[in-house]
Amino acid sequence: MNRNAAVALALAAILTTGFAFAAEPPSKTLYVRAGKLMTSASDPLKGPTTMIVTDGRISAIGDALPVPQGAEEVDLSKYTVMPGFIDSHIHLWTGPRALGNNVSYGLQTLRAQKAMKYAITSGVVGVRVLGSDGFIDVALADAIDEGTVVGPHVLPAGHAISIPAGHGDSFSYPATIPQDAYYTPLQGFISSTEDAEKAVHLQIKYGAKVIKIMASGGVGSPLDSPTAEQLSPEEMKVIVEQAHMAHLKVSAHDENTTAILDALHAGVDSIEHASELNQEAVDYMKAHHVWWDPTVYIVDSIVLGGETGPDYFVRKGKALAGTHFPSFRLGLKNGMAPQMCAGSDMSYEPGGGTVLDEMMTMVKYGATPQQALVAGTINGAALAGWSDMGTLEVGKEASFVALDGDPTTDISVVKKTKAVVFKGKVVAGVGK
């Protein structure tokens, strides 16, 4: 045997030994006892039920299943176990609002990490981040997926697509400051159909998994009005065409009727806020199954004084309530609940509002508890494209919460969280 052959054999032996040593780890098994089990928010609760979770997935559901050898037992027999919640519209907390975002993207990302930990320990197992700076939402999604930080599934949008001085523009420096590097398609700013196409391509290049557009003005931006139309119908059509070619959905921030109808006819997949619906818009959304994300909690909180901010924020939010809540009731009256999602429009500042508040506010303004629960589980998963989530079924991801009470009769129970299991691991509460 020559020297090269001997080296090759030795290397092969080392590699073979290494692979044998690093063989598949032993299965991680949970045995869960549920007092009541909600396999789907659209179905009645089951009585005492057991569930087996193997390597993060549900492997069996049944009455009094035998305990697998070596399984970790999680006793939730006093509680209602149901799918974890999905927030279809959030932004990321990056520090106290008074400080703005005038800090590095690295620091913003570290602060947002705390927001994602708050989300998961609240029972929120999936979020759509509809607009952030510096692709920090993409970074968080990657870090969570690889196990570097703790948090829910994140569907990132990158930068929301806006016009300068529009709802996506909070640039507060004087006009004497050079701005060419800021108002670019990479940053989400467009002024033409050519810019629109480039903006979509660049958001996708840097990790966006959904495209967010600012079709109208809004409450949280200093320079515009919710009554303003911003992106042109032609720009929106180009955005939708390019996103759909990449198999991504388009989510449209829309506060007024004209902008809503323009976005609908452009082919968007979801309407966010929908603060000025009319019958034409409702009929179109139903006929084309456009998802409806009404975000009632944030407006309600502004009206009640719980959500504070600059004068323009509070003033515009209170004015918007005059059409926002009637629009929500119009949608419910016309049978849009089957395509309703629960989006809080919150930043998940630790201790702040979440999708749990959104579901409770939906019920406050006329939805049934079941409609709100479907919006916050099944429909949120469908909108995000997470086929593994939203219900508890054999073969699906084991991400669920245990609640102290019955949320189908008292929606406030969604805040009585006793345990959170994410991908088969107890991350909060009982058994942690």
In the chain, where the domains are located: 29-83+394-429, 85-384
- Residue 431 has a pLDDT of 63
Q: What are phi and psi of 54, to 5 degrees?
A: -125, 120
CATH of domain 29-83+394-429: 2.30.40.10
Q: Are 296 and 276 in contact (CB under 8 A)?
A: no
- Average pLDDT score over residue span 118-141: 97
What is the chain's mean pLDDT, rounded?
A: 92
**Tens digit of each residue's pLDDT (9 = 90 or more) over 196-253:** 999 999 999 999 999 999 999 999 888 899 999 999 999 999 999 999 999 999 999 9
What confidence tier does 102 reach under pLDDT thresholds 50, 70, 90? confident
Res 6 pLDDT > 60: no
Please tell me the distance from the alpha carbon of residue 298 to that of residue 250, in angstroms, as a whole number: 22
CA-nearest of 155, 121, 99, 171 to 422 is 121
Q: What are phi and psi of 185, to 5 degrees?
A: -60, -30
- Average pLDDT score over residue span 55-65: 96
- Residue 2 has a pLDDT of 47
Please tell me the distance from the alpha carbon of residue 144 to that of residue 126, in angstroms, as a whole number: 11
What confidence tier does 128 reach under pLDDT thresholds 50, 70, 90? very high
Fold of 85-384: TIM Barrel (3.20.20)
Please tell me the distance from the alpha carbon of residue 115 to that of residue 90, in angstroms, as a whole number: 11
DSSP string, 399-417: -EEEESS-TTT-GGGGG-E
More confident residue, 70 or 6: 70
More confident residue, 19 or 259: 259
Weakest mean pLDDT among 68-72, 100-104, 304-308, 377-381: 100-104
- Average pLDDT score over residue span 316-343: 97
Please tell me the distance from the alpha carbon of residue 13 to that of residue 40, in angstroms, as a whole number: 51
- Average pLDDT score over residue span 43-47: 96
